Amino acid sequence: MTQEPVRSESKQVVLVSGARPNLMKIAPVARALRKNPRFAVRLLHTGQHYDDEMAHRFFRDLGLERPDTDLGVGSLSHARQTAAIMERFDEHLDREGADLVVVVGDVNSTIACALTAVKRGILVAHVEAGLRSFDRAMPEEINRILTDAIAHFLFTTERSAGENLRREGIPEERVFFVGNVMVDTLLAHRERALAEPRASTRPPRGYALATFHRPSNVDRAEDLRRLVDILLDASLCIPIVFPVHPRTRERLERFDLLRPLAACGAIDLLPPQGYLAFLRLMAEARAVLTDSGGIQEETTALGIPCLTLRTTTERPITVEEGTNVVCGQDREKILAALDEALAGRGKAGRVPERWDGCAAERIAAVLDQKLSG
């Protein structure tokens, strides 16, 4: 793409969020851009995550104003959701226009809004670009690859992401290694989170935290049953605090797997948590069992051992330098890694380069330079 930078005085910037984890990435970028009077920033939420109460808690926790626009798309199949977001976002751009659209992460909203903007000749920035699991069975992997192929400005969290983009033929002048905006948010809110009421009665360092929701783990009864059995086994070693994602709860109920968890006195089943409450749970855990990509990063930043319940990760730096061990659904590997963590021999890791709380400021500086003229 050879589009020239926009040269108007006031740059109309649309920040797109779709799923709740996007909000942790959008929040510091919004703050950094709003410090510069050259940017007129609008926050648009697609409604891909449609629980209004949970969305409100995340906006409140992160100090964000309610979005200027909510497309209200809701839950649909991947194709229909992507199409609905594109149609409604296109109508929004008809009414409001934009000079730059900023998308984050790898959800359907990311590719839908990026593609809509590019087809209208609007500049697109992708925050958290270049991450690859190399597993194209993951819908998120397709979203990442396609968004990176069409974005004008690609902001990466780790150096391996830049290497991935170079292999895919992305010109180096479009790629900027800025660090991790998720860590910006974590560092900005950690002290507030530790002052939150505890969501569980388990004492600090007296439990392991579990959370999983990906289709590969919960959509088939045999896979979900295997993870339930692993949690029950793990609870013999340490109590488990388990905030249950709505998708996971629905599958547990459908496959009649909720009762053994509820009957286990060493497993605390919690409703979904707001950002601050969950951050406190994570910061005070002995170990975390998860299939979330963002939590792999957050545990590395916190120095908490992380057991990833997937066979791949798009965030290799959390394994190479951080606290992450990729375990899949391998019972023996999971329990061995948990034993190591409880014995104090889990991966200590270190905080990766540029995970210092300043990523959003670097993004704002790049965009100020590229959109000025």
Report the interhelical angle of 108-119 vs 78-96 (nearest 10°).
40
Report the interhelical angle of 221-234 vs 331-342 (nearest 10°).
30
The 10s digit of each residue's pLDDT in 206-249 is 999 999 999 999 999 999 999 999 999 999 999 999 999 999 99
Higher pLDDT, 54 or 155: 155
pLDDT tops 80 at residue 55: no
Interval 116-120 mean pLDDT: 98
Token pair in block for residue 332: 């023996």
| Minimum mean pLDDT range among 1-10, 19-28, 329-338 | 1-10
Average pLDDT, the chain: 94
Q: What is the pLDDT of residue 364?
A: 98
What DSSP character marks residue 38?
T
Which of 92, 126, 189, 213 is labelled catalytic? 213
| Residues ≥6 apart with Cβ < 8 Å to 248 | 212, 213, 218, 224
Tell me the β-bridge partners of 17: 45
Token pair in block for residue 232: 């029950």
Q: What is the pLDDT of residue 243?
A: 97
| Residues ≥6 apart with Cβ < 8 Å to 28 | 181, 184, 185, 188, 359, 360
pLDDT class of 302 with cuts at 50, 70, 90? very high
Four-residue CA torsion sign, 249, 323, 310, 50: positive
pLDDT class of 47 with cuts at 50, 70, 90? confident
pLDDT tops 50 at residue 205: yes
pLDDT class of 50 with cuts at 50, 70, 90? low
Q: What is the pLDDT of residue 74?
A: 84
Token pair in block for residue 205: 């360092």
Tell me the β-bridge partners of 345: none
**Over pLDDT 90: what percentage of the chain?**
88
The 10s digit of each residue's pLDDT in 240-286 is 999 999 999 999 999 999 999 999 999 999 999 999 999 999 999 99
Distance, CA of 10 to CA of 212 (rounded, Å): 43
Is 213 labeled as catalytic in the residue annotation?
A: yes
Q: What is the pLDDT of residue 6?
A: 43
Residue 179, Ramachandran bin (φ over 0: left; ψ between -120 and 50: alpha; else beta) = left
Place of tokens 């855990």: 285
Q: What are phi and psi of 190, to 5 degrees?
A: -60, -45
pLDDT class of 44 with cuts at 50, 70, 90? very high
The 10s digit of each residue's pLDDT in 129-178 is 999 999 999 999 999 999 999 999 999 999 999 999 999 999 999 999 99
Q: What is the pLDDT of residue 52?
A: 64
Distance, CA of 210 to CA of 212 (rounded, Å): 7
pLDDT class of 315 with cuts at 50, 70, 90? very high
Q: Which domains does the chain have, with CATH numbers?
A: 11-179+355-371 (3.40.50.2000), 191-342 (3.40.50.2000)
pLDDT tops 50 at residue 2: no
